[in-house]
Amino acid sequence: MKEYEYVCQECGQQIEVNGPMREAILENGCPVCSAPAQSAHFCDQ
């Protein structure tokens, strides 16, 4: 499964996520601070 690194632009949280978690973050926002997430906040691993 493809891995991504997510970096929150609001709180600075950095986490490695898989595809389904990436989709959940895009729908629900940062898992730490709930800030809206965009595709640009993810980098391929």
* pLDDT tens-place string over residues 20-42: 999 999 999 999 999 999 999 99
SS3 28: helix
Phi, psi of 21 (to 5 degrees): -70, -35
- Give the integer Cα–Cα distance in Å for 1 and 9: 25
Phi, psi of 41 (to 5 degrees): -85, 0
Specify whether the CB–CB gap between 25 and 38 falls below 8 A.
no
pLDDT band at 45 (very low <50, low <70, confident <90, very high): confident
State the pLDDT at residue 1.
Answer: 78
Q: Which among 13, 31, 15 has a CA at the least distance from the CA of 4?
A: 15
